A and B are shown apart, each in its own frame.
Chain A
Amino acid sequence: MRRVAIIGVGNSKFGRRDDALIQEIAFEAFREALEDAGITQKDIDLSVVGCVGTRVYEALPAVPVNEYLGLIGKGPIRVEAACATGSAAVFSAYNAIASGCVDTAIAIGVEKMLEVDTPTSTAMGGRGGSYLWEFHMFGTSFAGYYALFATAHMAKFGTTEEDLALVAVKNHKYGAMNPKAHFQREIKVEDVLKSRIIAYPLKLYDCCPISDGAAAVILASEDKVKEFRVEDPVWIEAIGFGSDTSNLTRRTDYVGLPAAVQAAQMAYKRARIEPKDVDVAEVHDCFTIAEIMAYEDLGFCKKGEGAKMIREGETYIGGRIPVNIDGGLKAKGHPLAATGCSMMYELTRQLRGEGGRRQAPLKHNIALAHNIGGHGFYAYVTILRR
């Protein structure tokens, strides 16, 4: 395996993007990534476009995206791993370089979700669980699935609706400091508790928004890092992965994601680090309960103690391990395929010390991204080091 570095990152504005086509939003992230890396299309060997699709008018969006970006001849693949699609795209690009197949590659995660109405977007999500055995009869949705986790976590560990609200409050605080975030407004615990119920016990402010957006990550081999004279490469130390059932009923319990635990342990082992070595993390907070479970699944705390971490402010900047200090999925937004690439965008900038007002203190120069597909069907944990 060859070493692989991130040499350029780009991120479009996330939010309701009725102003742009899918390829135009991809272009925003792509141009920023090229400028950041200081390279052009001719320097890129392989383009991996991640897109969940189904809510955008294009059926095979990678094709027009690659055409629009001037990547003709370089884009033989489109990647999908539900909400972990961005990490799956990075994984594909990483492996192509690590194996020696190519020297440079770009992972582009792009999603348009708001070209259809909310019931349609909700159905496209819910049908992405187990259509036959769960959606067809019971109208499951992703808010509903994570609500099932929340209920079980609350019953087993005494986690409260106020604890969940604290996650939203933290992530909105940082979203308010991120000009690319969907929501740039601070909220209070009472705002969360008073917001309308989406799927008990989750309320509107416990849920990430439905967002449009794109993010891009340019990867290169060590030789290319030298050739391009990249001053601040961020190395991908390890990518751990896991997967699980489409039927939620086939899980042992509903208080964590076994795929995430598997991915985390694989990543820590491959990177030869421990959870305490992580300076800053991005975790998949599609719903507030998901962030609390992520703390536990990643070993930032013991199982059942996730709520204590947010209560004690340990995941704020200045706390033991800052988490989602770009606003997370919750406030920055969650354009499905863009999310994993956007996590790399944020963490790369954090490791370079480009976090500005949101900069996390760096001790070990290690960052971690935790990206989940569905209700834990797919999990990727990526460790970055500068």
Chain B
Amino acid sequence: MVEQKPPTIRSRAITLIHEIPIARIKQFWDGLNEGKIYATKCKRCGKLYYPPQVDCFKCMTSDVEWIALSGEGVIETFTESHLKPQGFTHYEKPYIIAIVKTPEEAKVMGWLEDIDIDKVRVGLKVRITTTRKPDGYPAIVFKPST
């Protein structure tokens, strides 16, 4: 027996695109163009923030310095996403999302490329790079250390 789909009416469409203010975190977004990942460090208490933030919730001051993370890390966990949310459906292949720990003890999320999912392991050493995808969006990309 084929169930008949109940009747529906279509809603009015809405387009929702945000202009995200990056005035205070521009260094991070500029860094992506230069192949660098920036964190912030509180000048007063030394707390490292990644993702970067310009206000320190530990000592409640707003005096931070920008620190470029070293371009290497070790994979702590990973997944290969076959599920693509709206905004990512134009990426043809599944993408590998990984979290790596850097020597500065920052943890960075990125896409792992140039490796087959079967070869990826927790503990794998990677280089941290940046790229700009054909659609114009920047990305942090990990590649296996050679």
A131-159 near B? 1/0 per residue, CB < 8 Å: 01111111111011001111110010000
Cβ contacts under 8 Å, B97 to chain A: 138-140, 144, 148
Distance between Cα atoms of A126 and B83 in the complex (Å):
11
Cβ contacts under 8 Å, A248 to chain B: 99, 109
Cβ contacts under 8 Å, A119 to chain B: 84-86, 89
| Secondary structure type dominating chain A contacts | helix
A272 close to B (CB within 8 Å): no
Distance between Cα atoms of A18 and B108 in the complex (Å):
41
- The residues in B between 79 and 98 inclusive whose CB is less than 8 angstroms from any CB of A are 79-89, 91, 94-95, 97
For B91, B99, B140, the residue with the greatest tally of chain A CB atoms inside 10 Å of its CB is B99
Distance between Cα atoms of A57 and B6 in the complex (Å):
17
Distance between Cα atoms of A202 and B94 in the complex (Å):
14
A133, A135, A202: which contacts B51 (Cβ < 8 A)?
Answer: A133
Stretch at the interface among A84-92, A191-199, A308-316: A191-199
Distance between Cα atoms of A250 and B79 in the complex (Å):
17
Distance between Cα atoms of A19 and B138 in the complex (Å):
42
Cβ contacts under 8 Å, A117 to chain B: 86
- The residues in A between 177 and 218 inclusive whose CB is less than 8 angstroms from any CB of B are 196-202
Cβ contacts under 8 Å, B87 to chain A: 123, 139
B87-131 near A? 1/0 per residue, CB < 8 Å: 111010011010100000001111100000100011100000000
| A228 → chain B closest CB, angstroms | 38
Cβ contacts under 8 Å, B51 to chain A: 130, 132-133, 247, 249-250
Cβ contacts under 8 Å, B138 to chain A: 137
Residues of A within 8 A of B (CB-CB), count: 45
Residue of B nearest to A58 (CB): B11
Distance between Cα atoms of A130 and B99 in the complex (Å):
14
B34-56 near A? 1/0 per residue, CB < 8 Å: 00000000000000001100000
Number of interchain pairs (Cβ within 8 Å): 120
A98-125 near B? 1/0 per residue, CB < 8 Å: 0000000000000000010101101101
Cβ contacts under 8 Å, A247 to chain B: 51
Task: Say yes or no: B83 contacts A148, CB within 8 Å.
Answer: no
- Interface band, chain B: 35 or more
Q: Would A151 and B77 be within 8 Å (CB), given that A134-B109, A138-B111 are in contact?
A: yes
B12-23 near A? 1/0 per residue, CB < 8 Å: 000000001000
Distance between Cα atoms of A127 and B85 in the complex (Å):
9
| A96 → chain B closest CB, angstroms | 31
Task: Say yes or no: A144 contacts B79, CB within 8 Å.
Answer: yes
Distance between Cα atoms of A19 and B51 in the complex (Å):
44
Task: Say yes or no: A249 contacts B83, CB within 8 Å.
Answer: no
Task: Say yes or no: B78 contacts A197, CB within 8 Å.
Answer: no
Cβ contacts under 8 Å, A202 to chain B: 79
Cβ contacts under 8 Å, A126 to chain B: 85
Distance between Cα atoms of A181 and B90 in the complex (Å):
34
Distance between Cα atoms of A19 and B4 in the complex (Å):
11
> What are 18 A-B contacts defined by CB distance under 8 Å?
A19-B6, A122-B85, A133-B109, A135-B85, A137-B138, A138-B109, A139-B87, A140-B81, A144-B79, A144-B83, A148-B79, A151-B79, A152-B76, A155-B77, A155-B121, A155-B122, A254-B76, A254-B99
Q: Which residues of A contact B (CB under 8 A)?
A: 18-19, 57, 115, 117, 119-120, 122-123, 125-127, 130, 132-141, 143-144, 147-152, 155, 196-202, 247-250, 253-254
